[in-house]
A and B are shown apart, each in its own frame.
Chain A
Amino acid sequence: MGGLIDGFGVVLEPANLLYCLIGVVIGMLIGVLPGLGPAATIAILLPITYGVEPVSAIIMLAGIFYGAQYGGTITSVLLRLPGEASSVVTVFDGYALAKQGRAGTALGIAAIGSFIGGTVSIIGLTLLAPVVAGVALDFGPPEYAALSLFGVLLVATVGNGSRLKAVIAAGLGLLLATVGRDTFTGASRFTFDSLNLADGIDFVPIAMGLFGLGEILYNLEERHHKVQAPVAVANAWPSRADLRQSRGAIARGSVIGFVLGVLPGGGATLSSLVAYAVEKRRAKEPERFGRGAVEGVAAPETANNAAATSSFIPLLTLGIPANATMALMFGALLIQGIAPGPQLVSEHPDLFWGVINSMYLGNILLLIMSIPLVGVFVKILKVRPAVLAPITVLITLLGVYTVANQVFDMFLVIVFGVLGYLMKKFGFEPGPLVLAFVLGSVMETAVRQSLLIFGGNPMGFFTRPISGTVLVALIVVLALPGVRLLVRRRKEKERV
């Protein structure tokens, strides 16, 4: 406990306060720019950290990471551009709210949810880090296989339109996930001998194309049919009723995000999806979801921020970087002569607690900044589509280019933009496709690794407590409607 209090002493040094502020401001900005993610930004800023105290450097880099989660929401809601897989779910209701002139409500509730989710997760990190880290190690490939299967099945339920169309879109997503060099045999799949496709397709061009560009193309067509009334941008802040409605979603999202965020690879995406599905299932009128339900924004945004925070646990307690951004922080620490590993807490308590406690402060700073910024960003919707659309296309193409510095990816966006337009025209939603795409590659790798571990015996999944439980639960849930139908039929027969 002494370490915790000393940690606050470290954070409240004026220099560290400043680095925390710089970090979250940069993070929020790059979050707004689609494409340029926290990993690339931290890589660019790495040399600057060499001359800085280790604690200050990591406080700033951490701020960039979770600040970006705040910023990413803004483009998802206003322009239908999810910059990261974990904010895809936010688009469903966030953009619907924006179209109704309630963008302020969506952004406001996202900021509040993010703040609470982040803070709950830091408290969890403070109290439970070592315990949770141990549990994370029990998650091997079989557990990932079961969880991602669960995720893929959830995908079909998050859509708003026809269930069949959602399944078809998800199937297409799973197919797209197979493009690229087979990670187990080295064989090329659907690459057409192009090195650009050797590593498969990146998430960003798919999401930007299907959501952002597809929407713009669709709107172009729409305008020929009817004159679009400019959106009245009202109440820039969520009302008390909105807050009451989102209370449960934020609470549940915090817990879901904290728990799933600890899992490296896909944890944040899965948590936003699960949080959304839980709210939709609990809602009295689930049909509101996808048409502008406030909880539909609150739940995933809370969860992905909580997940971003708890993803620090493997790095700080085990010395294992959970994603590319964490790998860069690992590198930054090494340069400073500090090796993140199991002994970090005992050898460098000031760093451990300083970084954790800076997150409390960073989240408060982000919330304070969000309040005036929401008002500013919302005004983007007042810009005429004729002006806004070309700028959005330009930002999208540039953003996609920054991901891997490949012109090829810009063409991919256009291809997926056309696909997104066609899907919208024929009543398919891009959400299930994109989410199935993200979870599909996790699932394929995990299933094949598991089968290698089990010596090829698929029953192995049921012999492990966690994967077994998840799979049995899935089978029960899937079988229930069928069983119910049978029971009802029999009753009807008896009546006749």
Chain B
Amino acid sequence: MLFSKLNRRVLVTAVSAVSMASVVLAGCGGVKTTSTGGKGDYPTGNIQMSVGASPGGSTDLITRAIAEGLGKELGVSVPVVNKPGANGALNAKELQAAKPDGYKIAVQNASLFTITPLAVSAKEVVKLDDFDLLGGISQDDYVLIAPVGSGYKTIADLKKAGKNVKYGTTGVGTGAQLASALTFKQAGIPATDVPFDGGAPALTALLGSQVDVATIQVGDSIEQIKAKKVVPLAVFSAERIKFLPDVPTAKEQGYDVVVSQYRFLTAPKGTPDDVRTKLADAAKKTYATDAYKKFNDAHCLTPIEVSPDEVRKILDGYATKYKAQLDQFGISLAAKK
């Protein structure tokens, strides 16, 4: 009797220990920090970085690399919390509503402000003006690839083939879709858009020749390019990138298509000046470390670590240009009504 009673107590303890463990693990992200300290004290507690995407994607990995550096520079822990949903809009709206005290910041994607608004309803649009910008991070470029057996080497080859080109992209409302649509329209190549959920499934479909070409991020395809399984036809950056120095840009080939993903650091609107400066400085020191530089190279990211004003200029430039080009060529990314 005593034994079974004891056992039961042990068990209840064990079960509550498990639930405690889950609280702790969940809490890793959700620790609330009070910041009552006066000026200059910042930071006195954890700084939470939220990601508007699932673990494992580029935005997530970049956030984690920066969080690591910020933690070391500022001497506090910087937990990363994933809040995936609606291409990052869900996370953006939460950040927008957070207290502007520098304890909640996030890496955000340019596409959310420059491309997504062209594809979704007005209610879902997030505005850049609702955030304080802390600075630019890096550019993630797209490349148009074809299977090695196809014989295609340039965009002109696709045109010569004279058939309807089926192209895979990383999804609707992404830079990959925009870049491909603009290119094929300008080149007058008849083409069908086949959207996939990210780079890996699009690459798989290309390797299996389910689609003729695909536009995906350079980091997702570089190994296949090196292994000569796929051929790069064009990169969509303004100038050639150092990771693929021999691959001409779309612009060089005569098409006015410059599309890339760009990421930058943001805080809720109204974050005090001194806090912003501290965060921006710590980020700059992080970017200067060898570990972070190595990270950029491994993921084929081109650093563009510019000031908040320049970030705004880059984004406004993209947004205006994309909209004008879509209008000019009569392309619609939005739902067909």
Counting CB contacts under 8 A, is A42 at the interface?
yes
Please determine whether B120 and A181 come into contact, CB atoms closer than 8 angstroms: yes
A314 to chain B, nearest CB (A): 8
Closest partner residue, chain A, to B83 (CB atom):
A405
With known contacts A137-B204, A264-B204, A391-B19, A452–B193 Cβ distance under 8 A = yes
With known contacts A185-B172, A324-B55, A455–B28 Cβ distance under 8 A = no
Please determine whether A331 and B56 come into contact, CB atoms closer than 8 angstroms: yes
Counting CB contacts under 8 A, is A184 at the interface?
yes
Please determine whether A337 and B298 come into contact, CB atoms closer than 8 angstroms: yes
Please determine whether A449 and B291 come into contact, CB atoms closer than 8 angstroms: no
Counting CB contacts under 8 A, is B81 at the interface?
yes
A181 to B79, CA, bound (A): 29
Closest partner residue, chain A, to B61 (CB atom):
A331
A90 to chain B, nearest CB (A): 20
Counting CB contacts under 8 A, is B23 at the interface?
yes
Please determine whether B26 and A36 come into contact, CB atoms closer than 8 angstroms: yes
Which residues from A are CB-within-8-Å of B205? 140-141, 449
A327 to B329, CA, bound (A): 36
With known contacts A337-B298, A405-B82, A318–B22 Cβ distance under 8 A = no
Which residues 254-302 of B sit at the A interface, judged by CB distance below 8 A?
A: 291, 294-295, 298-299
With known contacts A47-B64, A198-B86, A391–B15 Cβ distance under 8 A = yes
Counting CB contacts under 8 A, is B75 at the interface?
no
Counting CB contacts under 8 A, is B157 at the interface?
no
A208 to chain B, nearest CB (A): 13
Counting CB contacts under 8 A, is A179 at the interface?
no
Closest partner residue, chain A, to B89 (CB atom):
A195
A380 to B10, CA, bound (A): 10
Contact with B along A306-317 (1 / 0, CB 8 A): 000000001000
A341 to B230, CA, bound (A): 12
A320 to B224, CA, bound (A): 10
A199 to B61, CA, bound (A): 21
Contact with B along A179-205 (1 / 0, CB 8 A): 001111111100001011011000000
Please determine whether B25 and A36 come into contact, CB atoms closer than 8 angstroms: yes
Counting CB contacts under 8 A, is A474 at the interface?
no
Interface size on A, residues (CB 8 A): 76
Please determine whether B336 and A199 come into contact, CB atoms closer than 8 angstroms: no
Please determine whether B335 and A321 come into contact, CB atoms closer than 8 angstroms: no
Counting CB contacts under 8 A, is A5 at the interface?
no
Counting CB contacts under 8 A, is A43 at the interface?
yes
A190 to B149, CA, bound (A): 43
Counting CB contacts under 8 A, is A469 at the interface?
no
Counting CB contacts under 8 A, is A153 at the interface?
no
With known contacts A33-B21, A334-B299, A343–B201 Cβ distance under 8 A = no
Counting CB contacts under 8 A, is A157 at the interface?
no
Please determine whether A193 and B15 come into contact, CB atoms closer than 8 angstroms: no
A265 to B201, CA, bound (A): 9
A136 to B203, CA, bound (A): 13
With known contacts A137-B204, A452-B193, A339–B83 Cβ distance under 8 A = no
Which residues 132-187 of B sit at the A interface, judged by CB distance below 8 A?
A: 164, 166, 171-173
With known contacts A39-B54, A188-B121, A342-B224, A199–B86 Cβ distance under 8 A = yes
B292 to chain A, nearest CB (A): 11
Interface size class on chain B is 35 or more
Closest partner residue, chain B, to A333 (CB atom):
B298
Closest partner residue, chain B, to A198 (CB atom):
B86
Please determine whether B200 and A321 come into contact, CB atoms closer than 8 angstroms: yes
- Secondary structure call for the A interface: helix
Counting CB contacts under 8 A, is A138 at the interface?
yes
Counting CB contacts under 8 A, is A335 at the interface?
yes
Please determine whether A319 and B224 come into contact, CB atoms closer than 8 angstroms: yes
A137 to B60, CA, bound (A): 28
Please determine whether A395 and B18 come into contact, CB atoms closer than 8 angstroms: yes
A491 to chain B, nearest CB (A): 48
With known contacts A141-B210, A186-B119, A383-B12, A453–B194 Cβ distance under 8 A = yes
A75 to chain B, nearest CB (A): 10
Please determine whether B57 and A327 come into contact, CB atoms closer than 8 angstroms: yes
With known contacts A395-B18, A398-B19, A185–B227 Cβ distance under 8 A = no
Please determine whether A387 and B194 come into contact, CB atoms closer than 8 angstroms: no
Counting CB contacts under 8 A, is B303 at the interface?
no
Q: Pick the contact of A43 from B82, B192, B211 — CB < 8 Å?
A: B82
Which residues 80-101 of B sit at the A interface, judged by CB distance below 8 A?
A: 80-86, 89-90, 93
A122 to chain B, nearest CB (A): 23
Please determine whether A43 and B12 come into contact, CB atoms closer than 8 angstroms: no
A139 to B210, CA, bound (A): 9
Which residues 424-452 of A sit at the B interface, judged by CB distance below 8 A?
A: 445, 449, 452
A324 to B51, CA, bound (A): 15
Counting CB contacts under 8 A, is A483 at the interface?
no
Counting CB contacts under 8 A, is A382 at the interface?
yes
Q: Pick the contact of B85 from A35, A199, A341 — CB < 8 Å?
A: A199
Counting CB contacts under 8 A, is A487 at the interface?
no
With known contacts A36-B26, A335-B298, A46–B85 Cβ distance under 8 A = no
Q: Pick the contact of A340 from B90, B172, B223, B335 — CB < 8 Å?
A: B223
B176 to chain A, nearest CB (A): 13
Please determine whether B83 and A406 come into contact, CB atoms closer than 8 angstroms: yes
Counting CB contacts under 8 A, is B128 at the interface?
no
Counting CB contacts under 8 A, is A480 at the interface?
no
Which residues from A are CB-within-8-Å of B194? 449, 452-453
Which residues from B are CB-within-8-Å of A340? 223
A342 to B225, CA, bound (A): 10
Q: Pick the contact of A452 from B120, B171, B192, B197 — CB < 8 Å?
A: B192
Which residues from A are CB-within-8-Å of B222? 339
Which residues from B are CB-within-8-Å of A416? none
A352 to B336, CA, bound (A): 47
Which residues from A are CB-within-8-Å of B317? none
Which residues from A are CB-within-8-Å of B121? 188, 193
Q: Which residues of B contact A (CB under 8 A)?
A: 4, 7-8, 11-12, 14-16, 18-19, 21-23, 25-26, 28-30, 50, 54-57, 60-61, 64, 68, 80-86, 89-90, 93, 119-121, 123-124, 164, 166, 171-173, 192-197, 200-201, 203-205, 207-208, 210-211, 222-224, 226-227, 229, 291, 294-295, 298-299, 333-336
Residue contacts A-B, CB under 8 angstroms, 26 given: A40-B82, A43-B55, A43-B80, A44-B25, A186-B119, A186-B172, A186-B334, A188-B120, A188-B124, A195-B124, A199-B86, A319-B227, A328-B56, A335-B294, A339-B226, A339-B298, A341-B223, A376-B14, A383-B8, A383-B12, A395-B18, A398-B26, A445-B197, A452-B192, A453-B166, A453-B192
Q: A32-B18, A185-B334, A404-B82 are in contact. List 15 more A-B contacts (CB 8 A).
A: A33-B21, A50-B291, A184-B195, A198-B85, A314-B204, A319-B227, A320-B203, A324-B54, A339-B298, A341-B224, A383-B15, A402-B22, A404-B83, A405-B81, A453-B211
Q: Which residues of A contact B (CB under 8 A)?
A: 29, 32-33, 35-36, 39-40, 42-44, 46-47, 50, 136-141, 181-188, 193, 195-196, 198-199, 264-265, 314, 318-322, 324-325, 327-328, 330-331, 334-335, 337, 339-343, 376, 379-380, 382-383, 387-388, 391, 394-395, 398-399, 401-402, 404-406, 445, 449, 452-453, 455
Report the 9 A-B pairs with minimum CB-CB distance, sorted nearest first.
Answer: A341-B223, A187-B335, A327-B56, A140-B210, A198-B86, A43-B55, A137-B208, A342-B227, A334-B298
